[in-house]
Structure 1
Amino acid sequence: MRVYRKIIETAPFSPSHVTYRHLTKGFIDSGRIDEAMDLLREMLNKGQGADSIVYNNLISGFLNLGNLEKANELFDELKERCVVYDGVVNATFMEWWFSQGKENNAMESYKSLLDRNFRMTPATCNALLEVLLKYGKKPEAWALFEQMLDNHQTPTVQAVNSDTFNVMVNECFKLGKFSEAIDTFKRVGTHPKSKAFIMDVAGYNNIITRFCENEMLDEAEKLFGEMSTKSLPPDVTTFRTLIDAYLKVEKIDDALRLFNQMADSGMRVVMSFGTRVFSELISNGKAAECVPILIKMGEKDPKPDFLIYDVVARGLLNEGLLDLSKDVIDQMMKASVGITPALQNFVSEAFGQAGRGEEIERVLNADRWGYAALRPHRTTSNGRTTAFRTQSNVRTIAFCIQ
C-alpha cells in the first residue's frame, strides 16, 4: 500500500484496473476484506469504470465468508454500473453453489447467464468450463465448448484461446480417451463463419506434457515435430518435458538428441535441470557426448552454472577422458565461471596421477585478465611449502554473487 500511495502521489499516470485487481485479491487472501472494499470504492471515486474482476474478487471473498447477501448486493451493483458484463461472476457463484451442495442454484445461475446471450471472453468461458467439468456437468461443458468453437470467427471475434483447448484436452486424458484428446486439440467449429484456432506453444506444451505423463512418447514426439511445420519454436518447457520423459523410460539416445537440440537453440539451461540431465547421461555411458553440448552452452550468454561444469568435468575424469575434461575446464576458466577448490584439487590430482600435472596447471592458472596469476604460498602441516591459486578480486566477487 505504501508503494501504491507513492505512485498516486508522484507518478504521471493513474493506477489501472489491473492494479486494483491485484490489490483487492491480496487483501482478500490476507483476510482483510474491509480494506479490499475501501479500494473498490477508491477505484470508483477516481472515475475508473466498474471492473468485473475487481468485483468478482470481492464477491468471491464474501461468499467464502458465507455472506451471500453482501455478495448479491455487489453483484447487483456491478450489473448496474458495468456497461459490458462478460459473465465471470456467474462462474464464481456456480462454484460456490456447487460447493454448498445446491446444484439447482448453480445451474440456474448458469442458465440465466446463457439466456442473456452475453459475448463472453475466452477467460470467462474457460472458468465456466472448469466449474462444469469439476462438478460432473460434462454434457453442458462440451456443449459450451462447441459453442465457443462456433463463435470463434477471427478477426472479428476471438471466442477461444489455448487455455480453452487445454481444459478440454486434459478432461480427455483424465478419462483415458487419448485419441479423443488429439481430435479435441484440432477441433474446429461447424458454423460457416467459424475459423480454426491457431494453436500456440503453450497449447502444444500442455498436450505434449499429458502424453509424456502417460509414457506415450511417440505421440508426444509427433506433436513436437508438428510445431516446426507451423513455425512454432519449442521453448524451454517443451524440451524439458520431453527430455525428462525420455530419461524416465531410459531412452538415453533420444534424451541426448533433444538436449543437443536444446543447446543448438541457445536456450538457457538452469542449474537444477542441467546437472540432473548431465548426471543421467554420464551415468549411462554418455560422458564424451556431453562435452560438445556443454561447449555450445558455454559459447552463449548466460553461461552455464559452475555446478554444471563440475558434474561434467568429474564425470569425464572418472571415465579417464582427460583430454575432453581439459577442454571443459579450459572453457570454464575462459568464461570466468569460477572454480571451487574442491574441483580444482580433484582435477589436479587426476592429471597428476597421469603424469600431466603441469599441463593442467597451465590451464588452471592461465593469464585470463592481462596480468600474471597470483600464486601465494602456504605451509602445510608436514612443513612442506606448496602453491595455491588465488583468483582476482573481480573473479572472486563474480563467483560469490553467482
Structure 2
Amino acid sequence: MFPVDLMSKFKTATALTQISNTALLLRFSSPPSASASFALHQIFPNTNITTHPHCHTYNAHQQHRFPILPSNNSSVLIPKPNLVLLLHSSYFSTALHPFDETSQRDHRAQDNRFYHVFDLIKFSTIRPNIVTASIGHCIALKIGALAHLPTSTSLLTMYSRARDFGSSLALFDEIHNRDVIIWNAMITASLENGCFSAAMNFFVEMTEEGTGFDSTTLLVLMSASSHTNHLKQGQIIHGLSLKAGMLFDSTLRNALLDMYSKCSDLSSSELMFAGMECRDIVSWNSMISGCLYNSHPEKSLWYFEEMAFSGERADNVSLSSAISACTSLGELIFGQVIHGWGIKLGYESSHISVSNSLVSLYSQCGDIEAAETIFKEMIHKDAISWNAMIEGFSSNGKISEAFDLLREMQITWSVQPDKVTVVTIIPPCAEKMMLTEGRTIHGFTIRRQMGSDLLVKNCLMDMYSKCDRLKKAELLFNSMLERDLVSWNIMISGYSQNGHSGEAQNLFRELLRLYSNCSLSTILAILPSCDSHESLQFGKSLHSWQLKLGFSNDILAVNSLMYMYINCVDLKAAFSLLQQRINVVADITCWNTVIAGCTQKGHFQEALNTFILMRLEPNVSHDSVTLVNVISACGNLELVSEGKSLHGLAFKTLMGLDTRVQNALISMYGRCGDIENARLVFYSCSNRNLCSWNCMISAFSQNKDARRALEVFRCLEYEPNEITFTGILSACTQLGLVRYGREIHGHVLRLGLQENPFISAALLDMYSNCGRLDIAIQIFSNTQEKSVAAWNSMISAYGYHSNGRKAIELFHEMYKAGTMATKSTFISLLSACSHAGLVNEGIWYYDLMLKEYGVEPVTEHHVCMVDMLGRSGKLHEAYEFIKQMQTQPEPGVWGALLSACSYHGDVEMGRKVAKLLFELEPDNVGYYISLSNMYVSAGRWKEAVELRKTIQDQRLKKPAGYSLIDVGFG
C-alpha cells in the first residue's frame, strides 16, 4: 500500500486514487507541464501515462502509444479538460521499501537516484508550478532523497517559485542539519513571496542556531530592506558586512548602494560610492538610477556624464535611466545626445528598455513624430512600449491616433492591453470631454474583465464626472465593493465641480462618519462646493480640518482657502490669509489667487487694489497670469486709462508678447469702447489663436459694429467654437438681418453644436430680434435639454413681441420643469410685462423674486420696473419707486424715467430727472438731447436753445447713427 505521506503531497491534484499496490491514479484540473512528464519517464522508465480520449492531448513523448484506460474503469474517467495520469510500475513496490544499507550495490543505486532526482528538480525550478513541485516532492519521499540537502534545497526553491510558500515552510521544518545554503534558500523564498519580515526572522533564527552567514545571505537581506524601505535594517546589514570583512565583494557593495538609494538615503549612497576604489557598470547604474528614484534627475545625469568621462561603457540600464532623467527635466537636446550614443553602442533597437525610454522622452518633449518613428522601428515591443506610445499620443492631443494604436494593440498576438493602457487613455478623454470614446473604453474594460479593478473604476468615475455625467459616476461609485480615499475624493470633486454643492458636502460628511479622517486632497476636492455666502460656515469648518491635518503652510491649501473665502464673499478672511502667507514667504501664486478670484467674482476694484499692494512688495514680481486678470478687471470697470498703463507695463516686461495677455488687452479695449486699439493689438499679435479671434469678434459686437464682426468671422483661421458663434450671432442680432443669421445657423448645424446651451440661446435671441418668432419657437421646442439660458431667451422673445401673457405662461412651465429661475430670468419676465403693459403682474413678480426665489434685485430689475411704470403713465409712482430703493440708483434707472417723461410729455418731471442725470453723467449727451426734445415738443423754444448752446459749449457730441437696408433675401 502507498504511504499516507505520498497522498498528502498531491494536494494540488483534484483527486488521488490508489487502484492497486502497483497503480496510482492522479486526476488534475489542468494538464501538468512537460517537466512533470519528463521527471516521471526518467525516474520510472516503465511508467505508462494514459490520457483519456476526451481530454487534452499530452505532447510529451508523442512517439509512444500510451494504452487507453479500459472501459470498466469508467468511474475514474475525467471529462475534458481534465487529464488522467495512470502510473503503472513494479518500480513503485520496490522503491517504497527501505534500502538495504549493508548492500553496497543498493547503496550506489541510492546515490545515483538521489543525484538523478536532484538534477531533475533543479531543472524543473526554471519554470515551476505546483504540479511539478508536488511530483518532485513525491519522488523524493519515495526514494528517501529528502535527507540529501541539495535535493531538499532545490525542492524548497521549486515550491517558492511556484508561489506555495506554505509548502516551502513545511518542507523546511522537516529538514534537519541545515547548512547556510538551505537557510539562504528559505530567506530567499520569504523574499520572493513578499514575506519580508519573515526573511529577517529566519536570519535571526539562523544566527541563534550557530549557522554562519555568507555574502549571499547579506545580499538577500539587503534586497529585503530595499523592498520594504527599511533603512535601519539595511544599516544593520551594512554593519554586519563590515564586521565580517565582506565588503571586498563588489556585488555586496553594489547591493548596499542600491539599498541606500531605495531607502531614500541618497547621501549615504553617494558617500559610499565616493569611497569605492573600483567601480564597475553596476556601481554606476546604481547611482544613476538611485538619483532618479529619489527625484534628483539632474544628479542622475551628472553621474552619467562622470561615468562617460571615466571610460566605463554604458549599458542598456545606464542609457534608459539617463534618458528617463532627461524626460523628467524636459532636456530634449541632452536626450538626443544620449540617443546618439545608444545608436553608436547598438542599444537602440536591441534593448526594449532603451527604446521605451526614448519613446517617453520624445513624447513628453512634444516631438511625437520622433517617438512614433522609434516605436515603429522597434523589433520587439512589450506592454510598456505600447502604453508609452499611447500616452504620447494622448498627451500631445492626438486622441484619435491613440485610439487607433489601441485597436492595433488588441489585434497583436504578443501583447494585449492591460489596466495601465486603460488608465493611460481615460484621462485625455476626461480632459477633452470625449464621452463617446470614454464609454468605448468602459465597455472594453468590462469585456476584458478589468471593470472591477479599483484604479480603472476610479479613472472611469473621474471621466464621467468631468464629462458632466454624474449619474454614471454615481452608479460606478455605488457599485464599488472596495473604495479607497481616491474614490471618495473623485466623487466629491465631481459633485463640487458640477455645481452639486449639497451632494458634495453630504458625501464628505459620510466619509468622515465612516472613516473619521480625510486627506488634503479631500479638502481641496470639497472646497469648490463652498460657492456662496450660505456655505461660509461649512467653509470655515473645512479650514479647521485643514489646520488639524497640519497643512497650514501648504501653498495649494492656502490658495484654495483664499479662493473659497472670496466665493463666499468674505474678502476680509481672504486678505487675512494672504497677509499671513506674505509674512511667511512672498509667493506670486498667492497674489494671483486673490486677484483672479476677485476678478472672476466681480470684485474688480478689489482686484486692482490687490495688484497695487503687490507692486509695493519688494520681492514679488507680476507674471502673465497677474496681468491677464488685472487687465480684465480694468475692462469690466471700463478704465481705459489704467488699461493703457497695464499695456505699457506688459511690453516693458516683455509679457506683451504673451498671447494670453494680448487677448486680454483686445477684450479690455473692446469693453472700454476703444475699438481701434483693440484692432491694433489683434493685428500685431503674431501667434493668434482661436481665443484672439473670438475676442476681436466680441469687441466689434459689443461696440455695435456688426459688419466688421462679420468680416473678421469670414477671415477666421480656425474652426469656430461655441464662443465664436455666440459672439457672431450677437452681431447678426444687432443687424436684424435674418439672412446672415441663417448662414451662421448652418455653420452650427454642420459642426453639431446646436444643442450647446449658449448657442441655442443666442439663436433664439437672433431669430426673435429679426422678427422670426416662429423659428425661435421651433428651435426652443426641438431643444432636448433646455438650459436656463434657453428659457430666459424664449421668455425675452415673447416679451420683445409684446406677448407678455405667453411669457408668463412659459415662466410657469420653466418652474414645473425644475429649472431654477435666475436674475436674468426675472429681467426677461419684467421686460415682457413692461412691453405688454402688464403692470400689476410685473409688480407681483418683482415682489415674488426676492420672497420666493431669493433673487436680490439689481440695477437691470430696477430699470425694468421704472420702464414698466413709466410706459403706463405712472411717472410719480416710478419716481417714488426710485426714491425708496435701498441702494444708490444707477444712471440707467433715472434714464428710464427720463425716457418715460419724454414719451408722456411731462416736462417738469423730466427737467427734475435730467438735472440729476447731468450730475451723475455730465458727458452723456443723450440726456441733454432728450430734455431739449421735450422742450421743443412743449413749445418752450427758449429753454431748448439754451440747452443746445450748453451742448456746444461743453463740446458734447452725439454718436453718428446709421441705417441698413438688406438687399438679399430675408
Report the TM-score, using the length of structure 1 for normalisation: 0.49
Task: Give the greater-gyration-radius structure (CA).
Answer: 2
Report the TM-score, using the length of structure 2 for normalisation: 0.23
Which is bigger in relative contact order (C-alpha 8 A, separation at least 6)? 1
